[in-house]
Structure 1
Amino acid sequence: MDKGIKDGAAARAAYLGGLGIAIGGAVLFSTKAVVAKLLYRYQIDAVTLIAFRMLFSLPVFAAVAIWKMRTEAPLSRADRWRVLGLGLVGYYLSSFLDFLGLQYISVGLERLILFLTPTFVLLISSTLLKQHISRRQWLALLLSYCGIVFVFLHDLNSGNHNVALGATLVTGSAAAYAVYLLLSGEMVRRLGSLRLVSYAMCVSTVACVGQFLLLRPVTGLLQPLPVYGLSLVNGILCTVMPVFMTMAAVERIGAGTASQAGMIGPVSTLFLGALLLGEPVTSWQLGGTALVLAGIYLLSKK
């Protein structure tokens, strides 16, 4: 009996540890929006911001990519082209549209729109792959999009005339990442998530830095010291660590539970935005956030 109690306690501790890692990863990844807003106060643009983010995260992902290249079979030519496409769509295009949109909307609305990614996966699957959408899934979609409308109207009434533009850009970001998720499923099973992510992030870095060198002068790399510090936080704490923490959590508690733990992300962003950026937390935002979380929860149960 003592052994059974000890085994149960160990299993519970492992589960709670995995849950804590998943929550921590979700909070860190959501903090990306707050850090971006702080960086925009130094008069840099999205092109510069994303270039710095990828430059600071590159050493880690490049090290993992080199390790995987040395220890595993080389990619086929077809897989190389697939990785190239996935890196450009899932990490370059999605991230760039997200940072562009953040210039115009609150971090709370940005995080909620990105949280709609599973609904875009469902809609794309239904449209292109002819998958059936159940009544519960339709209810989840209705709840989620009603919540977005709540928060969108709140931001619109704040006097910012570019809210629609920002929301459209971030919606494009969520749609691009949904396409990445749909296209990457088979490759994740064959290559493993760590290998695929490290390769795709290296592709994204080349695209982001190349874009910067094409559109901005090299002197744009000379920035005030706080820009480097915040970019380091953005690259390591808000990009590298959430990737590895989420993978570790999925291994311990499963993808379903890890995904539901990620629901803390929009809530943490809302309150971090209030604490660090002075963005107000209103009943409209809380109500909209609750509707979005309820909809995504219903969808995740499926």
Structure 2
Amino acid sequence: MNSRYVGYLFCGLAMIGVGSTVVVSKAIAAGLPPFSATALRFAIAFPVFIVVMRVRRVRWPRLSRRDAWLAIAQAGAGSVGYTVFLISGMKLASAADAGVIAGTLPAVSAAVAMLALGERPAPALIGAIALATTGVLACTIHFDQLSSSRGAGAFTGNALVFAAVVCEALFILLNRKLSRPVDALPLSALMSGIGLAVAIVPACFERPWTLPFDANALLGVVYYALVPTVAGFVLWYAGAARVSGAEAGLMTALVPVSAVALAALVLHEPVTSSQLAGVACVLAAVWLATFGRRLRAPSTAG
């Protein structure tokens, strides 16, 4: 098989795994508190990353004091913050809505970079942010339901999921601020280790050992740790090495598609026309954010 197509396949499988986290978080939220689930996720993933590093003979990165603090902030936002907000949100939000919101990450990352770094966006990137915003609004804002407790709860759940996306965008931004780039494998191991250290203390206050045993929640955490976290890392970077950055970025469009499809197939959630419209807007936003620069006409001398 052509190496390029293998790259598409690996990146696509990784993003389908990311989309599945929205669905599996529904089961986790029903049986475990968010910090406890987060700590358990990294307690499982961290040793696996250590083994992979030893097999591949990869060493730990040497970080300056400034980069060490940035790494801790990265783990707090992108590892712990993302997981805690996502699981908390899935107690209230539908998996299909959450999947659409999760798919806005490329546009949200661009917006965070604009606000935090003062970057001047291309017109296509502004369009991508607008489309992503429209997609979120299409599937989450239902004025006829906000007066009811159920509708208000769903709105709160969607807001928590969006907070998770913002945390992941902050992770990307903080990674760009490192004085020296860190390879993906040791960075993933580092984020898992720090994430475990950050989440374990608040997890103890949740006293998960006093809760009834929930096999589905525990299996969900094991799946989250091994498939999207570890296997997703391996697949994504193996695929990204075979395709261009823009082509790999476009594969993130599979996140909302897989999340909505899995919500319907696994959780039997009805997929509404507004959710489909939201998916369409988010897919268009991902395409613009990925290929928008190529659409700009070259300037001519004159």
Q: Which runs of 5+ in 1 are unaligned?
A: 1-9
Distance in 1, matches of 2:109 and 2:230, equals 24
* 1:55 maps onto 2:43 in alignment: yes
Deviations 1:209-265 (A, max 9, x none): 222113325444x72434332321121112211122111111111322111122112
* Amino acid aligned to 2:181: R
Distance in 1, matches of 2:27 and 2:142, equals 22
Deviates more, 1:147-156 or 1:85-94: 147-156
Structure 1 residue 28 displacement after superposition: 1.1
Distance in 1, matches of 2:83 and 2:47, equals 19
* Amino acid aligned to 1:89: A
Contact 2:29–2:90 (CA under 8 A) maintained in structure 1: no
Contact 2:88–2:160 (CA under 8 A) maintained in structure 1: yes
CA gap of 1:202–1:188, structure 2 versus 1, over 3 A, is: farther
Q: Which runs of 5+ in 2 are unaligned?
A: 294-302
Match of 1:206 in 2: 197
Deviations 1:117-158 (A, max 9, x none): 222222232233222233322222222211111111359749
Residue from 92, 111, 129 that aligns with 2:117: 129
Distance in 2, matches of 1:24 and 1:197, equals 18
Deviates more, 1:202-211 or 1:130-139: 130-139
Match of 2:272 in 1: 282
Match of 1:22 in 2: 11
Identical columns (%): 21
Distance in 1, matches of 2:143 and 2:220, equals 26
* 1:153 maps onto 2:145 in alignment: no
Match of 1:246 in 2: 236
* Amino acid aligned to 2:197: V
Q: Match of 2:241, SS?
A: helix
Corresponding residue pairs, total? 289
Match of 2:300 in 1: none
CA gap of 1:29–1:156, structure 2 versus 1, over 3 A, is: farther
Contact 2:33–2:208 (CA under 8 A) maintained in structure 1: no
* Amino acid aligned to 2:191: A
* 1:257 maps onto 2:247 in alignment: yes
Distance in 2, matches of 1:212 and 1:54, equals 12
Distance in 1, matches of 2:158 and 2:220, equals 24
Structure (1 or 2) with the greater helix fraction: 1
Structure 1 residue 71 displacement after superposition: 3.4
* Amino acid aligned to 1:272: L
Contact 2:135–2:281 (CA under 8 A) maintained in structure 1: yes
Alignment of structure 1 residues 150-299 onto 2, 5 Å: 150-153=138-141, 157=145, 159-187=150-178, 190-216=181-207, 218-220=209-211, 223-299=213-289
Distance in 2, matches of 1:39 and 1:118, equals 26
* Amino acid aligned to 1:104: L
What do you get for the CA RMSD once the two structures are aligned?
A: 2.6
Deviations 1:67-100 (A, max 9, x none): 7997356333333222222111221112211111
Residue from 138, 142, 161 that aligns with 2:126: 138
CA gap of 1:174–1:156, structure 2 versus 1, over 3 A, is: farther
Deviations 1:145-176 (A, max 9, x none): 11111111359749432122112212221112
CA gap of 1:56–1:73, structure 2 versus 1, over 3 A, is: closer
Deviates more, 1:231-240 or 1:68-77: 68-77
CA gap of 1:69–1:199, structure 2 versus 1, over 3 A, is: farther
TM-score, length-normalised on structure 2? 0.86
Alignment of structure 1 residues 62-81 onto 2, 5 Å: 62-64=50-52, 71=59, 74-81=62-69
Distance in 2, matches of 1:73 and 1:206, equals 18
* Amino acid aligned to 1:133: P
CA gap of 1:73–1:123, structure 2 versus 1, over 3 A, is: closer
Q: Match of 2:181, SS?
A: helix
Contact 1:36–1:49 (CA under 8 A) maintained in structure 2: no
TM-score, length-normalised on structure 1? 0.86
Contact 2:29–2:88 (CA under 8 A) maintained in structure 1: no
